[in-house]
Amino acid sequence: MSLSIDAIKVGSEKHPKPADIHFQYGTAGFRTLGGVLDSVLFRVGILAALRSKRLDGRTIGVMVTASHNPEPDNGVKLVDPRGEMLEASWEVHATTLSNAPTTDALIEALNSLIQTAKIDLSKPARVVYARDTRPSGPALVAALEDGFKAIGAEARDAGVTTTPILHYFVRAINTKGTQYSYGEDSEDGYFRKLSDAYKKLVTGRPPASPLLIDCANGVGAIAAKKLANYLGDSLPFTLENTAITTEGALNNACGADFVKTSQKLPPSLSNVMKPGQRACSLDGDADRLIYFYLDERGVFHMLDGDKIAALVAAFIVEQVKIADLEDKVKVGVVQTAYANGASTKYLQERLPVKCVPTGVKHLHHAAERYDVGVYFEANGHGTVLFSDDTLATLHEHQPSTPAQSRGLENLISLTNVINQTVGDALSDMLLVEVVLSHKSYSGVEWDSLYVDLPNRLVKVVVADRNAFKTEDAERRLVSPPGLQSKIDDLVNKHQGGRSFVRPSGTEDVVRVYAEANLKAQADELAFRVAGLVYDEAGGDPVSRPKEFL
Ligand code: G16
């Protein structure tokens, strides 16, 4: 069986590649201005179908989103059968296909992929796809559907939903009717799974005080509203920043990325939040979560992905101990270089901790090596993975006391409240609420697990971010040559200093992170390193940002 060349030709002519753009499958798929992605979506449709054929017709997910990016951006990423990110070797195929300059070149690239990846075209192709609320979404989905049609894929439209729900669907579809069944492959199945587990975990606990959820004016607003119906009064919450149809509102001065980067309360919440109240922000596609609270004096305190990891890991370790499973179930944590030094120290004193490059795919794979792998990026993207062996252990274990039995039941419910396919803001929110409830913690007690080192994150716009290459889990630069030793010199001049530079995989910028013992020192270090990066990358002196030192 061969490709239906005519159908692909017709589709490809309808979705021509812009001549002057080089596309790249980055940290989380393709991501750039929504208006230039038409050809990419058509080709991703074909690629997803080929990936499915390669995997014997197992369902592949396609999510159209640019997550935390501003509204004019959009993107697309593929989801592998267990709900995890696309296998790295296929990211290269995605980049190659997206850059084929003409229809003929595209067909040649497809044939070459079919041969090298040994794809049997007679196998079925099954995909499930969804989009977030971005205005550019419908047109991009139409291009994607043209790709599915051109190759004859069986495609299921999951509509407008969150990225983690799409990941859940993929795993649920592929495990349906097997011993590994992940749940019903519907939104109802997802919400029921999470909310039933949450309710079990908080049974008998005092009622939670109301939570405020900043929905980033994105698709999380729709999902959170649905979740409320399933939770009833087991978790009272109010939704803010739910303007999903207001132009330009998405992720604008709100949402998880805004809170984490600016370390501030979204201005839209300043009149809504009260001292002592806890709140959380989702990002544009609800795969990231950042908590925060106002103390009694009304001062803002952020509880980021590192704080979530510390809270959750300690709770799981405690439940494992209560269930008398310490010998059989080992918990480990995975972080990236962005993890606050204080969080790494806190965790390393208690558990094995690994540092990997940015990107959920790296964290996810590292976490799979533990019995229970807790992974969170500082930006609030993360989850907890329970290995198949651990799941079997939990289901086979015979507790010998009522306390052990409760610990075991809690662990089993945790495996259900957690979306183990990918970081999921709503599932993570329920997880955090469970732990806060069990520990009787307010934001203050949670925050005091450790004190964050002051830190600063800065973006630098450069001509070519690909000139920046890193090693040692992105903690050191190998290119441009000589820049790392200049950074080292600066770091040594700041007490408790640490800084690293890496190219973003989702935005056309280089990111600079710095921390130090004092806030002023962390800011200074970040802006000095940003200045170095800007000058080194040949930035125009006239447009050099004035805060760079
Ligand atoms: C994506 C990835 C995250 C990553 C973030 C920023 O998040 O899934 O793992 O931390 O991009 O990546 P970078 O620093 O390379 O731009 P999201 O929420 O935007 O999908």
Whole-number percent of the chain with pLDDT over 90: 97
| Fold classification of 188-303 (topology level) | Alpha-D-Glucose-1,6-Bisphosphate; Chain A, domain 3 (3.40.120)
- Pick the residue whose CA is nearest to atom 17 on ligand 1: 67
Whole-number percent of the chain with pLDDT over 70: 100
What is the band of 442 on the pLDDT scale with cuts at 50, 70, 90?
very high
What pLDDT does residue 288 have? 98
* For ligand 1, mutation pick of 360, 365, 376 (most atoms within 8 Å of CB): 360
Average pLDDT over residues 182-207: 97
Tens-place pLDDT, residues 314-341: 999 999 999 999 999 999 999 999 999 9
Tens-place pLDDT, residues 22-41: 999 998 999 999 999 999 99
Q: What's the 276 CA to ligand 1 centre distance in angstroms?
A: 31
What pLDDT does residue 9 have? 97
Strands 60-64 and 73-79, bridge-based pairing = antiparallel
- Whether 287 has a binding-site annotation, put simply, is yes
> Do 5-160 and 305-447 have matching folds?
yes
What pLDDT does residue 540 have? 87
What pLDDT does residue 91 have? 97
- Whether 505 has a binding-site annotation, put simply, is yes
Average pLDDT of every residue of the chain = 97
Tens-place pLDDT, residues 392-440: 999 999 999 999 999 999 999 999 999 999 999 999 999 999 999 999 9
Phi, psi of 381 (to 5 degrees): -100, 115
* Contact assessment for residue 279 and residue 291, using Cβ atoms and an 8 Å cutoff: yes
Average pLDDT over residues 434-457: 97
What pLDDT does residue 84 have? 95
Of 40, 515, 39, 69, nearest to 288 by C-alpha is 69
Pick the CATH number of 5-160 from 3.30.365.10, 3.40.50.620, 3.40.120.10, 3.30.70.140: 3.40.120.10
For residue 74 and ligand 1, the question of a CB distance below 6 A is answered with no
Distance CA 174, CA 345 (A): 39
Average pLDDT over residues 447-474: 95
Task: Give the range among 212-221, 509-518, 540-549 with minimum mean pLDDT.
Answer: 540-549
* Contact assessment for residue 83 and residue 199, using Cβ atoms and an 8 Å cutoff: no
Sign of the C-alpha dihedral computed for residues 231, 236, 241 and 246 taken in this order = positive
- Tokens matching residue 333: 């944590």
State the CATH class of domain 455-548: alpha beta
Task: Provide the angle, in degrees to the nearest 10, between the axes of the packed helices 38-54 and 5-14.
Answer: 150
Q: Residue 285 CA: which ligand 1 atom is closest?
A: 18
Of 78, 84, 249, 89, nearest to 175 by C-alpha is 84
Q: What's the 359 CA to ligand 1 centre distance in angstroms?
A: 6
What is the band of 4 on the pLDDT scale with cuts at 50, 70, 90?
confident
| Fold classification of 305-447 (topology level) | Alpha-D-Glucose-1,6-Bisphosphate; Chain A, domain 3 (3.40.120)
SS3 384: strand
* Contact assessment for residue 278 and residue 211, using Cβ atoms and an 8 Å cutoff: yes
Q: What's the 543 CA to ligand 1 centre distance in angstroms?
A: 27
Maximum CA pair distance of the chain?
72
What pLDDT does residue 52 have? 98
What is the band of 74 on the pLDDT scale with cuts at 50, 70, 90?
very high
Q: Does pLDDT of 209 surpass 90? A: yes
What are the sequence ranges of the domains in the chain? 5-160, 188-303, 305-447, 455-548
Q: Residue 505 CA: which ligand 1 atom is closest?
A: 15
* For ligand 1, mutation pick of 63, 84, 163, 379 (most atoms within 8 Å of CB): 379
Strands 60-64 and 278-282, bridge-based pairing = unpaired
What pLDDT does residue 422 have? 97
For residue 360 and ligand 1, the question of a CB distance below 6 A is answered with yes
What pLDDT does residue 141 have? 98
What pLDDT does residue 240 have? 98
> Which distant-in-sequence residues (6+ apart) come within 8 Å of 139 by Cβ?
38
> Which distant-in-sequence residues (6+ apart) come within 8 Å of 232 by Cβ?
none
- Whether 389 has a binding-site annotation, put simply, is no
Q: Does pLDDT of 1 surpass 80? A: no
Q: Does pLDDT of 2 surpass 80? A: no
Distance CA 200, CA 235 (A): 12
- Pick the residue whose CA is nearest to atom 10 on ligand 1: 359
What pLDDT does residue 27 have? 87
What is the band of 517 on the pLDDT scale with cuts at 50, 70, 90?
very high
* Contact assessment for residue 335 and residue 344, using Cβ atoms and an 8 Å cutoff: yes
For residue 251 and ligand 1, the question of a CB distance below 6 A is answered with no
For residue 27 and ligand 1, the question of a CB distance below 6 A is answered with yes
* Contact assessment for residue 279 and residue 214, using Cβ atoms and an 8 Å cutoff: yes
- Whether 109 has a binding-site annotation, put simply, is no
Task: Provide the angle, in degrees to the nearest 10, between the axes of the packed helices 388-396 and 402-417.
Answer: 140
Q: Does pLDDT of 500 surpass 80? A: yes
* Contact assessment for residue 63 and residue 74, using Cβ atoms and an 8 Å cutoff: no
- Whether 377 has a binding-site annotation, put simply, is yes
What pLDDT does residue 3 have? 83
